[in-house]
Structure 1
Amino acid sequence: MLKKIIIFITVLIFAIATYSQTAMEYYNLAQQARKEYRYTDAIEYYKLAGNLLKETGRKGDYAIMLNEIGFMYQGLGQYDKAIENYSKALAIAEELGQKDNSSIYLNNIGLVYDSWGQYDKAIENLRKALAISEELGKKDQIA
Structure 2
Amino acid sequence: LALIREQQAQGRLVAMTGDGTNDAPALAQADVAVAMNSGTQAAKEAGNMVDLDSSPTKLIQIVEIGKQMLMTRGSLTTFSIANDVAKYFAIIPAAFATTYPQLAALNVMHLATPASAVMSAVIFNALIIVFLIPLALK
TM-score where L is the length of structure 1: 0.30
TM-score where L is the length of structure 2: 0.31
Q: Which has the higher helix share?
A: 1
Whichever of the two has the greater Rg, that structure is 2
Q: Which has the higher strand share?
A: 2
